[in-house]
Amino acid sequence: MCRHLAYLGPPTSLAELLLSPAHGLLRQSWAPRRQRNGTMNADGFGAGWYAPGDPVPARYRRAVPMWADASFADVARVTTSTAVLAAVRSATPGTTPDEAAAAPYRDGRWLFSHNGRVDGWPGSVAALAAQLPPVRLLSLEARVDSALLWALVQERLAAGDSAADALAAVVEGLSNTTTGRFNLLLTDGTTIAATAAGDTLCWRSDGAGTVVASEPSDDAPGWHRVPDGSVLTATRNDVEVRPLSVPARTRPDLP
């Protein structure tokens, strides 16, 4: 499992988004409140953000727990952005432990994260890999289930799908192939798309900025739970949620 977050809104520091909240992503790396699978997210972390005038987001990724990286705290204190995607990682067994396996993954203007797992990894890889052209397989950033799901999303984006349609198509297609937990999160710096498919997802928007996250970072009002089996589209001042056409096949012990 993992925990992740995406933000669109006025310029805000990474520290304010990720480190300062009482139950923010930093705290979720060792004490998540709504995570049902696993108790910690200490197998790495990453943050991606957009700078003015540059459509390609910057990334900071490490293979250590977020709390163990004092340098990130310093970077986060002085780095502000209007669009951020960040995640803390709990690695799927059998996947690589290096920082290349930590979200966010990047392709041009896109940032992507996966909260969940593909059941049966790595034995389940063949059926998923068969859906991809060789050039896409050769470009996988890491030997990890999340990177393979990202490749499937990239194929849909390259075919012209919108962000939400790309995520929905991948999750709906997985129902014919495997089981697992498929909460996907994607942004291009202007729009956020996300799926709730096997784990918790919520959002908060105050009309100026929007946060989409695995779980609330504080106990303030305004957080909304996304129903399982849904796909979300958000801008900095609007959020829409619709059901997936074909719910993902999740494990029986999940909601």
Q: Is-catalytic flag, 2?
A: yes
CATH code 3.60.20.10 for 2-243 = yes
pLDDT at 121: 79
What pTM does this model have?
0.94
List own/partner pairs for 19-26 with CB under 8 A and 24 or more apart: 19/73, 19/76, 21/217, 21/218, 22/217, 22/218, 22/219, 23/215, 23/216, 23/217, 23/218, 23/219, 24/217, 24/218, 25/66, 25/86, 25/87, 25/88, 25/213, 25/217, 26/66, 26/67
Roughly how many angstroms between the first and final C-alpha of the chain, as a whole number? 15
Report the pLDDT value the prediction gives residue 131, as an integer from 0 to 100. 86
Regions of the chain short of the pLDDT cut 50? 252-255
Q: What pLDDT is stored for residue 84 in this prediction? A: 98
- The answer to whether residues 189 and 241 touch, using CB atoms and an 8 Å cutoff, is no
CB 31 within 8 Å of CB 118: no
Q: Are 240 and 226 in contact (CB under 8 A)?
A: no
pLDDT of residue 254: 38
Out of 1, 2, 86, 184, pick the active-site residue: 2
pLDDT at 38: 77
pLDDT in the model for residue 65? 97
Neighbours of 186 (CB within 10 A): 25
